[in-house]
Structure 1
Amino acid sequence: MLWFEWDNLVLTGAQAACVALPAAGVPRFLERFRGGWWALILPLCIVAVIVGIDQVPDTANVLTWVALLLIPPGCALALGWAMHGARWWLAPLAIPLLAIAWADQDGSRPGQVATLLLIMGSVITLGRLLGGAAPLLLLKLGLIAMAVSDAILVFGNTLQAPNAVLEAAAPGAGLPQLQSAAFHYASMGYGDFFAAAVLGGLLATERRPQLIPAVALLVVSLCWDQLFLTVDTLPATVPVAIVLVLVEVWAQVRRRRRVAAPDG
């Protein structure tokens, strides 16, 4: 018996695209801000949010406003600069996406797709910026720490209640909720897309292929999703960490083969 849902596949495919799309490099004026502490954002963005909401539920309302104010500009930056194939004249497309997400908040497909694209764009920008701002080794360790902390919170039933509060929170005044993505019955948190985009950003910075790891993430996620046969919630950052480990192992294998080739 296999677990499979088309709605979930849409979100998983979008997460995989976040690996393939980030480009590399940061503006020169931002290079002065490079530092290893940026890698701490990865595990803290989950732990701090969950603990904050658990202790102070109104934190969720603040985060909805943060998402509303920062995600559309982040998407515009992706369209105009941060992603492969970006063009400056594509950046204004973030405006109609926000308008659709705002107008269609009743669970309709257009509103859900617009919200998903806005989130994807914003994390692609963050992935490129982090790939250029943090030492890559620390970024990789931070990505694994993020997945580990996410898994501990999910399988320990610590994440579900605060996450439900966050997903239900709204900025008010009829404004759209951009803090998570949903497609019919399936949903995925912002951090899950963020993790994938950071993987894409560090691969782009190292000038490694991104399409194959993106496809690998899709395959690994489909395998990981078989656990839905026994549980209701899964940490979608774990497949990202698994793909990162696979990429690193494959790189080591290729390196050893190149070293051994002259002797052969």
Structure 2
Amino acid sequence: MIEPVSPLSPAGDRHFDGLADKFSASLYGGTRGELRLALLDRLLPEMLELEGQPLLDVGGGLGQLAGWFAERGHAVTLAEPSGEMLVRAREHLAGHDVSFLQVPLQALPEQAPGPWALIACHAVLEWLADPRGALATLAGLLAPGGQLSLMVFNRDALRLSNVVKGNLEKAVADRLEGKGLRKRLTPISPLTHGQVEAWSAENDLVIREVAGIRVFADYLRQPPESEADRERLLALEHRYCRVDPHWRLGRYLLYTLERPMHAPQEATP
């Protein structure tokens, strides 16, 4: 009997070979995908100090984020472990100032050590078996004063979504993670804000900014049908995405983390 090929890497991470079409349709297709990109278009200049720095795009997928930065004058290095995704990214980014590395996040200290003044890692940590270790790796790649634009799938929003859908047993048991063994795209390691706070502190990273991505849209009974309603929803999302308590229930949490120019002083006994 032939053993089925696991979609998990030897490290237990979820990669996306064989799933590029589904990934593209599920995460970027339709109103939710458009809204995610539109919000990032507004929020990244507000939350980051952008001066044309070279950018390391970690887990760059299909290349949408790399293209956004390249079009604004950043020389981009896109790192992605999936060969299929990398092929799509090369096609999407033809003519842009982007170089490509087919490597997992864990190999970046050897393959792209930097130090980097600007790193983006969007919707990656939730697909890894060890997101805490991954954040430590990213912190080690940052230059003093460097910025990390981090976006993670919000576990608390996933719980609320399950309750809204009537999956009460799943919510009560806190059984929210995907297993990563089929073609469903439920992350294997959804994260909480508290985890990001704690792990950032462990690595001497300061949270400079935080926003929720799609704090309302995923709970609508029906998606907006007209262009006017889509614009109203975008305006509403942008107005409240950085306002407590709304940002805490964004489907994704978007952070600007910074490595201080000087290491924190240890208290003298």
**Structure 2 length normalisation: TM-score?**
0.25
Would you tell me which structure has more helix in proportion to its own residues? 1
- Select the structure with the greater relative contact order (CA < 8 A; seq sep ≥ 6): 1
Would you tell me which structure has more strand in proportion to its own residues? 2
**Structure 1 length normalisation: TM-score?**
0.25
